[in-house]
Amino acid sequence: MSRISVWPARDAYEKLQEDDAQDSIIDEVGVQAPARRSGQHWARRHLQGICAWSIAVTLSIGFGIVIGLAIPRTTFGHSRLTDSPPKTHFCGNTSAEAIAAGCTWDQLTWAWYPPHCPHYANEEFVAADDWKFFSDPWGTEANSSMWDRGLNNQVQLFSRHGEHLTHCVYLLLSMGQIVRDGTPTTPKLRNYEHLEHCVEMLMPVVRADANYSMINTKTPAVSYQQYC
């Protein structure tokens, strides 16, 4: 850290007697002042230069820190996350375009992912049940043609309430994996309102559990080793 010079203290002057005031002023100003002022002028310019240099160095260091923080860093081999969408949709706008681009289907978030995007708990979600999808709310199961049209956003598909609840459970598990591994997330996974919605969906089911009020759970040991 640069040391900033301190301005010298003001010279202390003794009170003059009235009789000697005029002669003293003449001696001080007329004779001694030029030499003293010349020395003081040089000292002040020298100190001003030191101060200016110190301030410039401090500002340069501060500016460098700001720029360093603004530059995207890499974490676990991945660039820092950004909410700025790409200029073009990597996976296109149809299932055919997505497959041609090497994208893969993520049923948990109902989205196509570029090749470098992790799928997190998608496999566990798909394996959790034999999920069925329907072309209407009255149970008409969607055939392969309806499924293809649904993935192209041409028709609306429907699912059971249990599929919705299970989706929320594995969505929260995906967020835990992201925090654990420090890996990239998609905009859908980063959508906090979606997580709030899932909590609202799950809480009534939790409260409806037959054992909700049963005293059968031991509290864990208190931990003092946490940090962040």
Total count of residues recorded for the chain: 228
- pLDDT reported for residue 143: 96
- pLDDT reported for residue 89: 75
- pLDDT reported for residue 52: 59
**Contact at 8 Å (CB) between 152 and 95?**
yes
Q: What is the pTM of this model?
A: 0.62
For range 43-69, the mean pLDDT: 56
For range 23-44, the mean pLDDT: 47
Q: Which two tokens stand for residue 104?
A: 């893969």
Confidence of residue 21 (pLDDT cuts 50, 70, 90): very low
CA distance 174 to 185: 10
Residue 175 has pLDDT above 90, yes or no: yes
For range 74-79, the mean pLDDT: 39
How many separate helices (H) and strands (E) can be counted in the chain?
8, 6
Instruction: Find the helix or strand (DSSP H, E) in which 112 lies.
Output: strand 111-113
List pLDDT tens digits, range 141-161.
999 999 999 999 999 999 999
More confident: 116 or 43: 116
More confident: 68 or 49: 49
138 closest CA partner among 160, 165, 163: 160
Mean model confidence pLDDT for the chain: 78
Q: Kindly report the CA angle at 85 between 84 and 86, in degrees rounded to 5? A: 120
The amino acid sitting at 10 is R
118 closest CA partner among 76, 164, 162: 76
161 closest CA partner among 140, 185, 131: 131
For range 152-175, the mean pLDDT: 98
